[in-house]
Amino acid sequence: MESHLVIDVKEDETVIALLEDNRLVELQREERNPECALGDIYLGRVRKVRSEINAALVNIGFKQPAFLSYNAMGGSFEASRKLLKKLRSEKGRKGVRQVDESAKDGDASPSSDKNKIDSLLDKNDEVLVQVTKEPINTKGATVSTDISFTGRYIVLKPYGNGIHISQKIKDLCKKEKDDYESIKIENLIASIKPDGFEVIVRTSALGRDSRELVNELKNLVNRWEEVKRTLKATKEPGRVHKEVSRAIGFIRDSFNESYTKITVNDEELYHEIREYISFLDIDKPNIVEFYNRPKPLFDAYGITKQIKSYMGRNVTYKSGAYLVIDTTEAMHVIDVNSGTGSRKSPDQKENAFNVNMLAAEEIARQLRLRDMGGIIAIDFIDMEQPQCDELYKHMVELMKNDRASHTVLPLNKFCVMQITRQRVRPATKVKTEEMCPTCHGTGKAKPSILLTDEIEEYIRRVVESDRSLKTITLVVHPYVSAYIKRGLWGKSILNSWKRAFKVAIKVEENQSFPLLNYEIEEAEPLQE
């Protein structure tokens, strides 16, 4: 399998697409400079303590308060509060509750044994929190006082002294009957870890050079020191640490030997990714490619067409069967329909089983592609119990490639499967329907035959508004481009425009454009 990561940086957002053997499997969007992102750390102030739900609403600088539950307080809460008090003046500062001075940074539990948040927090108390779930619709962010810094190989948690090795590393060593590698990593971390920090060693650390682990640990410790310096100067609720961009985070968590190319159309991000790849694997920085051609990046690699095909409500897959995907506030619902797939065999039971097995493959892909989280209910075609059991095992195997935490439950007697999948950000939504290209949503149609006349008049206005123009770029749908370029020996519509307006006209195609949409961009004036 070959993986190709394509990153399209636009004016207002960054879109990340992962291709596996040229097939789109993941799609993520992020606003340029998002106000609140997963992993960001904030100085917050308690707005309200809700004892009935054992949670607090915390002001972190936005209109919607963040949600902090008692279960998200973590074992480091007292140590964190002690740090805030220490960073303030000798007399303390209003909003920082007095703490038990005997509490140490490695305390494993809050000082109260009542398991109630109102015994730990009061209104206007300051708290240091980290975003664990981004704002979704009208809901504010979900936060935790359990602070962590994630690297490629290591997760660093201030307060504590433990070292934890990834269970996958332990399982692999156990399978190979060789615990040496696991013990080696643990001893290395123990020798370089500063006091007062807890370290979790990720699976990707297996087989890495000790120098790489040391460098990353130092980098993560420096991040925490920077947070403390920022906290000391911060007086109002707001962000004190920004997590790495979605693009870098995606590479950090998913980069492996299958990556053959990373393509990005932003020069600044291109250099940032090259530097990061060099850090991960010194032999692979050349897989990063800077794209600067006129054709839209996603069009060049066939991603736009795949998005239009696979991100709609109805998704057709192999053998003519299709899925119907609906999203509500409470859950995602997927219905499996046989379509023309029921004609493959005269045996109805065999058909149902084959359609469901293929549907499972597409559903596992759709969960990653749309980043669907929360509860997913899947209505498969009715089958016998032995076939249901086989389908369940098949789905569990397919979901192993999904990095998000998830649980797959066996099918019930109605042949409905339930999957719970970690939701840390809103699901990716793509509007695949287009506005009517003729009426533009008004319900009143203009003659489409007049499109070229409209474009010609538009070009005329642009040229007359600036007589110094020597080149203009016309962006249209590929079908329209083919039409205006049609003709031999210079008799095309495009050439007639060039002669009439005495300017060079470049035509660029954009697959995301509705059929009859057009625009002029990058007009180039004459050189004086």
Q: Alpha-carbon distance 248 to 30, whole Å?
A: 12
Q: Alpha-carbon distance 225 to 212, whole Å?
A: 20
- Report the pLDDT value the prediction gives residue 359, as an integer from 0 to 100: 92
Looking at 283, 305, 327, the residue that finishes a domain is 305
- Report the pLDDT value the prediction gives residue 221, as an integer from 0 to 100: 92
- CATH code at 338? 3.40.630
Examine residue 299 and state whether it is found in any structural domain, yes or no.
yes
- Report the pLDDT value the prediction gives residue 449, as an integer from 0 to 100: 75
Examine residue 41 and state whether it is found in any structural domain, yes or no.
no
Looking at 380, 404, 421, the residue that finishes a domain is 421
CA distances from 165 to 58, 162, 217, 384 (A): 33, 10, 15, 42
Same domain flag for 297 and 331: no
Give the torsion through C-alpha atoms of 274, 31, 61, 220, to 10 deg. Answer: -20
Examine residue 151 and state whether it is found in any structural domain, yes or no.
no
**Residue among 393, 518, 401 nearest 457 (CA):** 518
Same domain flag for 297 and 318: no
- Report the pLDDT value the prediction gives residue 345, as an integer from 0 to 100: 61
- CATH code at 295? 3.30.420.40
- CATH code at 460? 3.30.2320
Same domain flag for 415 and 334: yes
Same domain flag for 391 and 332: yes
- Count: domains in the chain: 3
- Report the pLDDT value the prediction gives residue 417, as an integer from 0 to 100: 95
- Identify whether the C-beta of residue 265 lies closer than 8 Å to the C-beta of residue 6: no
pLDDT in tens, the chain (528 residues): 889 999 999 888 899 999 988 889 888 888 877 788 889 999 999 999 998 999 999 999 988 999 999 988 877 888 888 888 888 754 444 444 444 444 444 444 444 446 788 888 999 999 999 999 888 777 889 999 999 999 888 999 998 788 888 887 777 777 766 666 777 788 888 888 888 899 998 888 877 778 888 888 999 999 999 999 998 888 889 999 998 888 898 888 888 888 899 999 999 999 999 888 887 765 676 889 999 998 899 999 999 888 888 888 888 877 778 899 998 878 899 999 987 655 556 678 888 898 999 999 999 999 988 888 889 999 999 999 899 999 999 999 999 888 888 999 999 989 999 999 987 666 666 666 666 665 666 666 566 778 888 898 888 888 888 888 888 899 999 999 999 988 766 678 898 998 888 889 999 998 888 788 888 875 555 443
Examine residue 392 and state whether it is found in any structural domain, yes or no.
yes
Show Cβ contacts of residue 319 under 8 Å, excluding neighbours closer than 6 positions: 340, 341, 344, 354, 355, 358
- Report the pLDDT value the prediction gives residue 291, as an integer from 0 to 100: 94
Q: Alpha-carbon distance 450 to 148, whole Å?
A: 60
- Identify whether the C-beta of residue 369 lies closer than 8 Å to the C-beta of residue 26: yes
Around 278, how many Cα atoms within 13 Å sit in the side-chain half-sphere? 7
Same domain flag for 301 and 315: no
Examine residue 101 and state whether it is found in any structural domain, yes or no.
no
- Identify whether the C-beta of residue 287 lies closer than 8 Å to the C-beta of residue 259: yes
Examine residue 434 and state whether it is found in any structural domain, yes or no.
no
The alpha carbon dihedral of 20, 22, 27, 32 has a sign of: positive
- Report the pLDDT value the prediction gives residue 37, as an integer from 0 to 100: 86
CA distances from 369 to 20, 31, 45, 312, 521 (A): 12, 18, 36, 12, 32
- Report the pLDDT value the prediction gives residue 7, as an integer from 0 to 100: 95
Examine residue 493 and state whether it is found in any structural domain, yes or no.
yes
User: Could you tell me the pTM of the whole model?
Assistant: 0.69
Same domain flag for 367 and 456: no
Same domain flag for 275 and 377: no
Same domain flag for 352 and 380: yes
Same domain flag for 324 and 338: yes
Show the domain range for 333. 311-421
The label of the residue with tokens 């010194």 reads 282
- Identify whether the C-beta of residue 151 lies closer than 8 Å to the C-beta of residue 251: no
Same domain flag for 323 and 410: yes
The label of the residue with tokens 């109260």 reads 112
Same domain flag for 339 and 385: yes
- Report the pLDDT value the prediction gives residue 488, as an integer from 0 to 100: 62
Query: Residue 88 has which token pair?
Result: 């303030």
- Report the pLDDT value the prediction gives residue 433, as an integer from 0 to 100: 63
- Report the pLDDT value the prediction gives residue 270, as an integer from 0 to 100: 92
* Angle at alpha carbon of residue 415, lines to 311 and 347, rounded to 5°: 90
Same domain flag for 413 and 317: yes
Looking at 265, 280, 305, the residue that finishes a domain is 305
What 3-state class would DSSP assign to 94?
coil
Examine residue 131 and state whether it is found in any structural domain, yes or no.
no
